[in-house]
Structure formats: C-alpha cells, structure tokens
C-alpha cells in the first residue's frame, strides 16, 4: 500500500506503527507507543534538521567476543558505522543539524578544520557536495604525494584544502580565510573541530532517544556505554540525551584517544550546559559528572597501542566488525582491559557505541 501523508496519519490514529519515507528520510521507523513526552522532548523534537542518515542503527550482541574474553557480562554494540554517507559514523548525526543551520543562514561556503585524515572534514565535504555548497578544509599535516583514505576522498569531492603545520594554526587559518571570503561578498559558515558545538551535538541527543526506543523494544537493560570521546560533541549530546530520555541508570564512559581527560571535560561542559538551557531542562553538568578514561591514549593521537591493535584484530576475527585505528579501537581496548580486570558484575550489560572512522584503516 502506498502511504501518503494523509493515509500515514490515519494509520497512526488507528494505533498502527508505520514506516514513512521521503527522499531525505529513509528507513526511519516511527512508533507512537512511547510514554507521554515531556515539554523538553517536544521542544527538542521540533528542532529542524536534515535527514540523510539511516536510522535506527542496529544493536548487536557480541557473543563471540564475550566467549573469547570469558566475560561475565553481556556485550552489545551500537552500529553507528552504519549511519550512511559512506561510513561517516557519528559525523552524519552531527552534520544533519549543522548543515540545516548552514542552509538556514543561506551560507554558500563551509569551512571546517581537522587533521590530515579527519573523518569530520571528509564528511563535511560530502554534505557540501550533496547540497551544492563550496567546501574548504584546513588540515594540519603535509599533503600526500599519493593521497590515501580520507585525503583521497577529499580530493574526489572537490574540497579546497589548505594545509598548516600544527593544530593551533587551524582555527587561525580558518578565520583568516573566512574573513577574506566575506570581504568579497561570500556568506561563510565556520564549523569548529569535530562539529562539536551545541547545534552539532543535537545529533546525539536524538541518538539517545533512538537508543531509549530500541532498549524498550528489546527489553534490554544497559549499565555502561563505552565510546571514543575527543572533541566532546558526541559525548555532550549523549549526556543531555541521557537526561532528556530518562536513561539515568546508564553510566556513560568516554575513552580519550588524544587529549587529557580534564581538557575533554571542559569541551563537554561548554557544549552540554547550553543545550540543557535551550531545552528548558533544569540539569547542569559539571566535571564530577563526566567519566573520561585517559589511560588508553598511549603515545598520542593516531598512534595505535598494542592494546588497541589487539582490540581491532579481535573484533574483526571474532565478530566480522571493523573498528578504526585512531578512535574506536582505543575505546574497545578499554572495554577489554576492564573486563579482564574483573571490573563488572555478572548481571551487568555493556554497550559499545561504534562511532565509525573505518576509512582510516586505508590511510
């Protein structure tokens, strides 16, 4: 049966769960069997955004990994490596809100920053290509003679790339380019590192609502969610979404692949508290409320550790799932290490949130 807008709402009125699709909204299961929505949830769900992702991303049980580790706890994985836009991971959720804001402000040029193999930079270039916008990337590192992975894709997408030597130079160069373009009449939108500002983090507020729905449907209790936490935007959205959707019994545990925990906590606070205020929520988050593990960084960003290499290998060999060598493998290394150290109870369940980044395997 063809579902029109009118017939869709008739189905809903009759108590039937329907699936509605539009050119920008694919495989979004819409259910109306939620508990009554708070005013904050209603306010959040009225915030407009683009719909390029494939949701809900699946939750799978990692039975083979559990058996390999002789784990007393059940292990699950949330597959945000499946969000779409060529395995763009968590970047899709953020950019759906950010790029709506770009269009709303009638920008014709988008500039963002990152390291040479930045997943966020490449995903931004993909969105710009889709929306017919000029994309400029400011990346720290040297141009490759034969570009690989994200660097190769950036070229294919037609992004204009400016290289700087160090991380601190990136925002300075971005501002310089923006000001020059604006002096020539261009309408420029600047996206900071990782899209980690309140509007970008709305994508992971929404993701936590998606998770709440899935857990109810699966009748599944989750005690811990582990994920990679770096520029803070994903983590901030999850903290706000956890409160908004009453997932208060879940402990969020971010694992840093690069920066010190205290620094990441400041990023999260700067993003999460404005979102609480925007959604008329009474909560505020402080450093004591945030858990960041920094002991799995190793020698630094983009430098794998023996533990992260083992995690990457185990997931591939035991579950057929590819992590990435920069972010998610270090987060999974933390899960594996803590299981081996006996840090969890036998009646607890762990969810690992796979935030993507797999293209880095080809760098």
* Residue 140: HSE in the Cβ half-sphere, 13 Å Cα cutoff: 15
The first and second tokens of residue 181, run together, are: 């373009």
118 annotated active-site: yes
The first and second tokens of residue 324, run together, are: 């990435």
Phi and psi based region of residue 64 (left: phi greater than 0; alpha: psi -120 to 50; beta: remaining):
alpha
* Residue 337: HSE in the Cβ half-sphere, 13 Å Cα cutoff: 17
Residues with Cβ < 8 Å from 296, sequence gap 6 or more? 255, 256, 257, 305, 307, 308, 330, 331, 333, 334, 337
| Measured distance CA(2)–CA(135) in Å, rounded | 38
| Measured distance CA(66)–CA(336) in Å, rounded | 10
| Measured distance CA(173)–CA(155) in Å, rounded | 20
The string of DSSP codes covering 127-157 is HHHHHT-EEEEEEESPPPSS--HHHHHHHHT
Q: Which of 71, 118, 231, 329 is catalytic?
A: 118
Q: Degrees (nearest 5) of the Cα angle 152, 186, 180?
A: 80
Neighbours of 309 (CB within 10 A): 13
Bridge partners of residue 25, in order along the sequence: 22
Active site residues: 118
């Amino acid at each position: 049966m063809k579902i029109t807008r009118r017939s869709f709402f008739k189905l809903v009125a009759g108590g039937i769960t329907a699936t509605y699709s539009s050119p920008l909204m694919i495989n979004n299961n819409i259910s109306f069997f939620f508990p009554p929505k708070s005013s904050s949830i209603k306010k959040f769900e009225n915030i407009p955004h683009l719909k390029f992702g494939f949701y809900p991303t699946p939750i799978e049980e990692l039975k083979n990994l559990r058996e390999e580790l002789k784990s007393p706890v059940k292990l699950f994985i949330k597959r945000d490596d499946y969000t779409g836009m060529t395995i763009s991971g968590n970047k899709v959720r953020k950019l759906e809100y950010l790029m709506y804001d770009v269009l709303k402000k009638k920008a014709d040029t988008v500039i963002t920053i990152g390291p040479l193999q930045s997943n966020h930079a490449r995903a931004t270039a993909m969105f710009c290509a889709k929306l017919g916008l000029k994309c400029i990337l400011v990346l720290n590192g040297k141009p490759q003679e034969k570009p690989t992975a994200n660097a190769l894709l950036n070229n294919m997408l037609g992004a204009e790339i400016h290289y700087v030597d160090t991380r601190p130079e990136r925002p300075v160069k971005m501002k310089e380019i923006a000001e020059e373009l604006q002096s020539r009449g261009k309408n420029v939108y600047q996206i900071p590192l990782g899209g980690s500002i309140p509007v970008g983090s709305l994508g992971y507020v929404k993701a936590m609502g998606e998770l709440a729905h899935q857990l109810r449907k699966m009748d599944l209790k989750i005690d811990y969610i582990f994920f990679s936490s770096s520029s803070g935007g994903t983590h901030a959205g999850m903290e706000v979404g956890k409160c908004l959707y009453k997932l208060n019994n879940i402990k969020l545990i971010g694992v840093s692949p690069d920066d010190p925990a205290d620094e990441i906590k400041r990023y999260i606070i700067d993003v999460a508290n404005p979102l609480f205020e925007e959604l008329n929520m009474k909560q505020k988050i402080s450093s004591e409320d945030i858990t960041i593990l920094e002991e799995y960084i190793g020698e630094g960003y983009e430098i794998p550790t023996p533990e992260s290499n083992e995690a990457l290998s185990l997931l591939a060999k035991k579950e057929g799932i590819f992590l990435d060598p920069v972010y998610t493998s270090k987060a999974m290394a933390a899960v594996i290490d803590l299981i081996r150290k006996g840090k969890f109870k036998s009646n607890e369940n762990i969810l690992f949130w796979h935030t993507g980044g797999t293209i880095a395997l080809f760098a």
